[in-house]
Chains A and B, each alone.
Chain A
Amino acid sequence: MALLSTILILFSSALILHSGFSSHEFHQLLKSLPQDSHSYLGHQLPKDIQYEAIAGIITFTIAVFFSFKKLTYYPLQGPQKLITLNHYLHEIRMNKATNVDNLIGNDPYGEINHTPNFIDIHAKREETKRWLEQNDKKEI
């Protein structure tokens, strides 16, 4: 989706630039005509330039909308399976907004509830060492 959106944005920019350039050329030519001539007074931008510019604008708008992606998550713990939700924006009501956290096993207040500053580092390192030893044994 993102790739498609980028390609479309580039394409529409090219369209708009080209039509701008054509329109510029046209008006330069127009100015070289005498100001009271018939074709000067009744002048109008050629249809193909108009269509090109309008097509450029519409493509750009669509590309902007294509740049939205459906929300995707990986669960924080457990097997890594991509979860795709069927909407583009986050719901704002608190009881719904936290559903995403529940789904991926996140605790939005974790900075408080996991008491990260009171962690005993030595205990953690012991645990790791033990685990590493066990792993080594298994491999042997």
Chain B
Amino acid sequence: MALSVWSVWSLITAGSAGAVAELTLDPKLKYWVLLPISIVMVLTGILRQYIMDLIAPNTKGVPRVKLTESQWIYKAQALLANGSNLSAEAFQLRKEHLIEVLAGGKYLVKLNTDGQAPSPLSDPNLSENMFSMAKGNLANFIPQTIIMWWVNHFFAGFVLMKLPFPLTPRFKEMLQSGVMTADLDVRWVSSISWYFISVLGLNPVYNLLLSDTESIDINAAQQPPTMGGPGEPQPEAVMKGLANDLTIAENESCFDDIEQRVLEKYS
């Protein structure tokens, strides 16, 4: 470990002093390879942003009873989480009421499939979710692959640029792919390595260019999570579990020494 750290260090410090064979590159390379690749990458990033907005999953309609069911579950969770903002008596009152409601399954939606648990794969909700997830992944993945193929196909087989910092010879295979020179310094790299560098480093550029488009998804954030995503337990089990949690829940009211706290804080 220590050795490798040392060797990297010496590499870094000695990099500029080492005699690097100077190649003279055609300046046209810059204007017809480096710039086009960069521009295309930035543009695809921006385009991807807009496409993601377009294919953002629509909020799907559910029957009203289903909504009621999930809201009661959410309410129990809210009481567990925020119960400390109530006084002890108020908490006790709600606790008893909610335990009764949840354990009794008053708002549970009766499923038509009697007793039979629906197979997870035939659930339309699940496939919908998977589809939207896949769409998101594809929107990320396809442009990347296309650009990589484009760069590899049209700009392969020559040295494009010189990196300003040295690398270990291990990178040679990756960064000089398609350049058939056995002992060329690793700092001379082909176009695919510019692709890699910009994939890593373009985040700040996107942030500067797209800084004012993020506010679109404000509306989506306001909705409370609805139950019934893939792999989540059935609402009946959730309700029973919450009823149990509530039975043992202790209330630690924030009013206990509030006077002291306020006095300390503001005087």
What are 4 inter-chain pairs, A to B, with CB distance below 8 A? A28-B27, A31-B24, A35-B22, A95-B265
**CB neighbors of A among B19-73 (8 A):** 22, 24, 27
Interface string of B228-267 (1 = CB under 8 A from A): 0000000000000000000000000000000000000100
A70 to chain B: closest CB distance in Å?
21
Q: How many A-B residue pairs have CB under 8 A?
A: 4
A28 to B25, CA, bound (A): 11
Give chain B's interface residues, CB within 8 Å of chain A.
22, 24, 27, 265
Give the size of the chain A interface in residues (CB under 8 angstroms): 4
Q: Complex: how many Å from CA A95 to CA B258?
A: 14
Closest chain B residue to A35, Cβ basis: B22
Chain B residues with CB under 8 Å of A28's CB are: 27
Contact with B along A11-51 (1 / 0, CB 8 A): 00000000000000000100100010000000000000000
Query: What residues of chain B lie closer than 8 Å to A35, measured between beta carbons?
Result: 22
Which residues of chain A are within 8 angstroms of B22 by Cβ–Cβ distance? 35
Question: For residue A95, which residues in chain B have a CB less than 8 angstroms away from its CB?
Answer: 265
- A77-100: contact bitstring with B at CB < 8 Å (1 yes, 0 no)? 000000000000000000100000
* Bound CA span A50–B265, Å: 54
Expressed in whole angstroms, the minimum distance between the Cβ of B75 and any Cβ of chain A is 16
- By a CB distance below 8 angstroms, the chain A residues around B265 are 95
Report Cα–Cα, A107/B201, bound state, in Å: 42
Shortest distance from the beta carbon of A39 to any chain B beta carbon, whole Å: 15
Q: Please, which residue of chain A has its CB at the minimum distance from the CB of B25?
A: A31
Give the shortest distance, in Å, between B20 (CB) and chain A (any CB).
12
The 4 closest A-B pairs by CB, nearest first: A31-B24, A35-B22, A95-B265, A28-B27
Question: Whole-angstrom distance between the alpha carbons of A123 and B84 in the complex?
Answer: 40
User: In chain A, what residue has the closest Cβ to B266?
Assistant: A95
Closest CB in chain A relative to B101 CB, distance in Å: 23
The CA-CA distance from A73 to B107 in the complex, in Å, is: 47
User: How many angstroms from the CA of A31 to the CA of B27 in the assembled complex?
Assistant: 12
Output the least CB separation between B163 and chain A (Å): 16
Q: Chain A's nearest CB lies how many Å from the CB of B261?
A: 11
| A38 CB to nearest chain B CB (Å) | 16
Q: How far is the CB of A137 from the nearest CB of chain B, in Å?
A: 45
**A89-B257 Cα distance, complex, nearest whole Å:** 32
Minimum CB–CB distance from A42 to chain B (whole Å) comes to 13
Chain A residues, Cβ within 8 Å of B24 = 31
Query: Complex formed: what's the CA distance from A28 to B27 in Å?
Result: 10
Give min CB distance, B218 to chain A, whole Å. Answer: 13
